[in-house]
Structure 1
Amino acid sequence: MKAFRGEILSVPDDPAVVGTEAIRHFDDGLLVVEDGLVLACGPHRALSEKFADVPTEKLDGLIVPGFVDAHVHYPQIGSIASHGEQLMQWLERHIFPAEKAFADRAHADSIAAFFLDELLRHGTTSALVFATVHPGSIDALFEAALQRDMRIVSGKVLMDLGPEGLRDTVSTGRADTEALIARWRGRGRLGYAVTPRFVPTSSEEQLADAGALLTEHPDVLMHTHLSENPGEIEFVASRFPDAADYLDVYDRFGLVGPRSVFAHCVHMSDRALSRVAEAGSGIAFCPTSNMFLGSGLFDLARADRHGVRIAIGTDIGAGTSLSVLHTLGEAYKICQLKGASLDPFRALHLATAGGARVMGIGDRVGALLPGQEADFILLDENSTPLLARRCSGASLHDRLFALQVLGDDRSIAATYLRGAKVHR
């Protein structure tokens, strides 16, 4: 057993729904960890006597839950900041060639290790990750995650209509997926996601089989892209002219449900948003990616009106930073352009407990509640001279907002997984 003393902030519930009661803030708090789990978290004055004999480390900074990245592509880390093109052309020019290299297991091992270390350096402790069509890309990621004790959910990409070198078949896609689930189920803090890349790269037969896999394995997620870019949407509409909309294509194959996570959803009809909410699916809001590819501006307020569950995704490599802090700052700007204001406490919720719920791991991480895994980070509001000046004497609200607008990887003083420091 050990304890950490310092300023602690978590937002277990959505402030947009329950108000300020969602915010748990202890100016002088105590976080007690036993066997990697949170035993207690509250004011130091209320807990100090009970845990007086527990070794305690004083942390100088703001303790918050580790970030949850609900949509990110690890094979694209080397393609970040690739100039030119919108989604479909960008994939052909930059991404598909990069992903073909993951047929080489040694290459996949190297990139997976680098990617996960970068996540930890940026304060991300849980993530829903796209790999490639190659089964070895999942083995590499899961082995690296197991070594680091990270909570990672991923799956082999299904794309039987993909380009040469990135193409499977319905039968090999199923066989590989079944083998990977059997090989990794229940190991460490890993989870599996059935992962059709998106409608343009899968046949109707493969989409139907993905729905069958989801039904046959009630402990796995479904992770894909939806309504990201106008060109992509036009392609799907031309291929499925009788579908009500893009979401309806997924729905007809059994891929819309409470374990479904759809990245982007920039251009959604009211019908589609209502259906996502009704099904209990989640949306990963990826602001830097949507701006970088010129895809459009996600309307968070509109999704809220429909009651959709929202998470935050960096979406590397179209996204421009692995920093969830930076991503939240960009989310704020998009909301401003859409006529709404994203409160910093709500932003933190979406990047922690909210994202965890979308990923189906809300009972395990995201809020520093008793019984949850003690994944947390230490934010340093003095990490740059400008940030230090802005935060000096400021309220908690303004300090948190400044961290989201001005902060980045430099603001992550330390990252802890189950109470163990893994990055400083």
Structure 2
Amino acid sequence: MASIITPTGTFQAYRASLLHFSDDPAFATNACWWHEDGLLIVNDGKVHLAGDFSQLIAFLPQGTPLHDYRGKIIMPGFIDTHVHYPQTDMIASPAPGLLPWLEKYTFPTERKFADPEHAANVASFFLDELTRCGTTTAMVYCTVHPQSVDAFFTESEKRNLRMVAGKVLMDRNCPDFLQDTAESGARESEALIKKWHKRGRQLYAITPRFAPTSTEAQLELAGALAKAYPDTYLQTHVAENTDEVAWVKSLFPNARSYMDVYDHFGMMRPRSMYAHCIWLDDTDRARMGETQSAISICPTSNLFLGSGLFDFERADAKRVPLSLATDVGGGTSFSMLQTMNEAYKVARMGGTYLQAMRMFYLATLGGARAMQLEGTIGNFVPGAEADFIVLDPKATPLLARRTERTDSVEELLFAIAMLGDDRSISATYAAGKVVHQRQD
């Protein structure tokens, strides 16, 4: 063991309880790795080793800084697989449903992102809010304006965050001021791919908003881009709301289902992320499992807009890759802990009991797997990027009182998921550097 750590590079060490996952607790035993008194060793922004403090401390290079977070929990940073940064300023806007909410609030708000200064200002606040809530990676929708993408990636690059984002594609059924064309949307997307994809820690997502706002020509070009650039991401919405599903049926009468529209255009593949997926059938779910097209579960948004309840049992039966997301601004919190809280309740209403360990898995390694980024982010395997958070189980008086009375890791995590929020995040690290520190 003495040869494991060599005195090269820049080492940092962090002592706390450690939590991470090697598999989905719903399908594998011993999927949770918990070290009551643990040590995380980081070298040049990547995980070097993680394990028991007593086993690793003797092998640290002399002079390595040791950060003492005893009494707290270190775990991988949260991964939010569906969120709209332009909707930051319209979170908590009232509307009777998805489609009127888009018309009254979303589209007018997104119009402002033609201004690069406005886009940069919102991007800065948005990333501050993500890291304050412990989120270190997100799949982000920009607006139809290429400058909104540039503003977002510029700000993310400054902070050295692992982010995925893309320009929204819309060439019909939207206001003129947000409308591109099939050709201009594809051309601008390709230029942004070449500029930003794999530049540092930035990754690009081809982003048709949803089928109703794209013509067949635009969807065809989006699918062609996905084929031409197979290591890019693809993100969109599907089967969120019954009115939306009916609308899609009227626009694409020859498609078997809403999901079949995307499949027809070659958009179901690894690195594709479909938000919501409430009103699917088992044929859709089976196809997602076959193609490794992932689902982004958005409980706070689905409850807020009255869209419906996600069916965990049917998705699991087809082994569809699952992840959790805030979906701000339809979602009502940037906090993944608050999102777990609502996911638990949605699952219970559908007859599924969602264990705390699985909720934390879905918000970390589950997100990484859904994004085909296992080994890069999501857990503490050697060589993974050192994106992690420090959770405080005593962040509020009620949380402190409850966690003092837990008698298992599962009960401890459940209490944090039910009672925690942004105050529970003591610190957030990206590539081994502090990007948020709570001020007590």
- Does the 8 Å CA contact 2:92/2:332 hold for their aligned counterparts? yes
* 2:125 is aligned with 1:102: no
Instruction: Name the CA distance, whole Å, in 2 between partners of 1:259 and 1:25.
Output: 29
1:69 alignment counterpart: 80
- Does the 8 Å CA contact 2:197/2:232 hold for their aligned counterparts? no
The 5-angstrom pairing of residues 45-60 of structure 1 reads: 45-51=54-60, 53=62, 54-60=64-70
Instruction: Name the CA distance, whole Å, in 1 between partners of 2:276 and 2:287.
Output: 16
Q: 1:303 aligns with which of 293, 315, 332?
A: 315
Instruction: Name the CA distance, whole Å, in 2 between partners of 1:357 and 1:143.
Output: 26
Q: 1:25 aligns with which of 34, 52, 62?
A: 34
Query: RMSD of the TM alignment (CA)?
Result: 0.9
Instruction: Name the CA distance, whole Å, in 2 between partners of 1:340 and 1:239.
Output: 34
Instruction: Name the CA distance, whole Å, in 2 between partners of 1:229 and 1:112.
Output: 28
1:124 alignment counterpart: 135
Instruction: Name the CA distance, whole Å, in 2 between partners of 1:386 and 1:408.
Output: 12
Displaced runs of 4+ in structure 1, greater than 4 A? none
1:16 alignment counterpart: 26
Amino acid at match of 1:106: E
1:80-102 deviations in Å (ceiling 9; x for gaps) = 00012211111001100000010
- Does the 8 Å CA contact 1:376/1:417 hold for their aligned counterparts? yes
Secondary structure of the 2:50 match is strand
Q: CA deviation at 1:182?
A: 1.2
Amino acid at match of 1:258: P
Instruction: Name the CA distance, whole Å, in 2 between partners of 1:243 and 1:273.
Output: 16
Instruction: Name the CA distance, whole Å, in 2 between partners of 1:372 and 1:213.
Output: 29
- Does the 8 Å CA contact 1:128/1:359 hold for their aligned counterparts? no
Instruction: Name the CA distance, whole Å, in 1 between partners of 2:167 and 2:372.
Output: 19
* 2:266 is aligned with 1:257: no
1:292-328 deviations in Å (ceiling 9; x for gaps) = 0000000111100111000101000000000000100
Q: 1:330 aligns with which of 342, 354, 359?
A: 342
Instruction: Name the CA distance, whole Å, in 2 between partners of 1:363 and 1:6.
Output: 22
Instruction: Name the CA distance, whole Å, in 2 between partners of 1:11 and 1:286.
Output: 22
Instruction: Name the CA distance, whole Å, in 1 between partners of 2:65 and 2:117.
Output: 42
Instruction: Name the CA distance, whole Å, in 1 between partners of 2:196 and 2:393.
Output: 39
Amino acid at match of 2:399: L
Instruction: Name the CA distance, whole Å, in 2 between partners of 1:368 and 1:116.
Output: 23
Instruction: Name the CA distance, whole Å, in 1 between partners of 2:435 and 2:281.
Output: 43
Instruction: Name the CA distance, whole Å, in 2 between partners of 1:78 and 1:401.
Output: 31
Secondary structure of the 2:59 match is coil
Q: CA deviation at 1:52?
A: 5.5
Q: 1:403 aligns with which of 410, 416, 429?
A: 416
Q: 1:375 aligns with which of 378, 387, 401?
A: 387
Q: 1:146 aligns with which of 153, 157, 164?
A: 157
Instruction: Name the CA distance, whole Å, in 2 between partners of 1:271 and 1:111.
Output: 40
1:280 alignment counterpart: 292
Q: Which moved more, 1:170-179 or 1:101-110?
A: 170-179
Q: 2:166 aligns with which of 155, 166, 169?
A: 155
Identity %: 49
Say if 1:52 and 1:179 are closer, same or farther in 2 by CA, change over 3 A.
closer
1:352-390 deviations in Å (ceiling 9; x for gaps) = 011011112222111111100011001111111111110
Q: Structure 1: any 5+ residue segments left out of the alignment? A: none
* TM-score of the two chains, using structure 2 as the length reference: 0.95
1:44 alignment counterpart: 53
1:66-122 deviations in Å (ceiling 9; x for gaps) = 000000000001110001221111100110000001011110000000000100000
Q: CA deviation at 1:55?
A: 2.1
* TM-score of the two chains, using structure 1 as the length reference: 0.99
Amino acid at match of 2:423: R
1:340 alignment counterpart: 352
Instruction: Name the CA distance, whole Å, in 1 between partners of 2:382 and 2:304.
Output: 39
- Does the 8 Å CA contact 2:20/2:34 hold for their aligned counterparts? yes
* 2:430 is aligned with 1:420: no
Q: Structure 2: any 5+ residue segments left out of the alignment? A: 1-10
Q: CA deviation at 1:393?
A: 3.5
Secondary structure of the 1:218 match is coil
Instruction: Name the CA distance, whole Å, in 1 between partners of 2:372 and 2:175.
Output: 32
